[in-house]
Amino acid sequence: EILAAITALLAPAARPLAGRHALVTSGPTHEPIDPVRYIANRSSGKQGHAIAAALAALGARVTLVSGPVAQPDPPGVTVVRIETAREMLAACEGALPADIAVMAAAVADWRVAREAGQKLKKEPGAEAPSLMMTLNPDILATLSHHAQRPGLVVGFAAETEKVVEHAIAKRRRKGCDWIVANDVSGTVMGGDANTVHLITAAGVEDWPELPKGAVAERLAARIAAALA
């Protein structure tokens, strides 16, 4: 950290995001079914936390809104911990204004329509229940159309098939600027490497397989270049 501070003093050009505020989301959301059960997503938070750290390393002030993860807080980053998609949206809106938003969290699309106040009991002989789901707020679309819309809004698309095709459609539908798309049908979830495609208005870039830290640094550098 001391070394980073000295480097920054000697080479201000290495902090191209100084004075910028970046909002990053990371990790899964947990949507309660009852006091002891919940629906979750397989997201370790590794990629989102690495992006927060990479943006901070380029000089940005970073607010990281994170679901429940085992990742340590990136140094120098303000971390806001939440559980549900609704809490994540509220924390994101509370963090505005921001120049950059990178929505890397795996937000649950749905939550249970009626959360039970008591633990659901398995009654002997009874049928298993059906869980009626309802739509969660769409955080990426909400920020993309917000009165305080960040200048650059980056979404993520985790897909198990037709990765690029789905991501191009998602970029248009959500109204965000870029989509980072990846194929999660393999061992990406929880793993240390990631193969992503960057979808922008200009087209599709296929990045090579990289450690998640390197994906984060490359994305942060692209963001700095776009805002320069």
Give residues in contact with its own copies (CB under 8 A): 30, 33, 35-42, 70, 106, 108-110, 113, 118-122, 124, 128-135, 158-161, 166, 173, 184-185, 189
Of 146 and 166, which has the nearer Cβ to its own copies? 166
For residue 31, give the nearest of 158, 160, 133 by alpha carbon. Answer: 133
Alpha-carbon distance of 6 to 130, in angstroms, equals: 59
Of 47 and 63, which has the nearer Cβ to its own copies? 47
Q: Sheet containing 78-81: give its strands across.
A: 78-81, 61-66, 21-26, 100-103, 152-159, 178-183, 196-200, 203-206
Is 182 catalytic? The answer is no
To the nearest whole angstrom, how small is the minimum distance from the Cβ of residue 100 to its own copies?
25
Give the active site residue among 41, 136, 182, 194: 41
To the nearest whole angstrom, how small is the minimum distance from the Cβ of residue 127 to its own copies?
8
Question: What H or E segment, with its residue span, contains residue 69?
Answer: none
Of 72 and 203, which has the nearer Cβ to its own copies? 72
Of 97 and 172, which has the nearer Cβ to its own copies? 172
Contact between 21 and 186 under an 8 Å Cβ cutoff? The reply is: no
To the nearest whole angstrom, how small is the minimum distance from the Cβ of residue 36 to its own copies?
5
112 CA to centre of own chain: 22
To the nearest whole angstrom, how small is the minimum distance from the Cβ of residue 228 to its own copies?
35
Contact between 224 and 17 under an 8 Å Cβ cutoff? The reply is: yes
Active site residues: 41
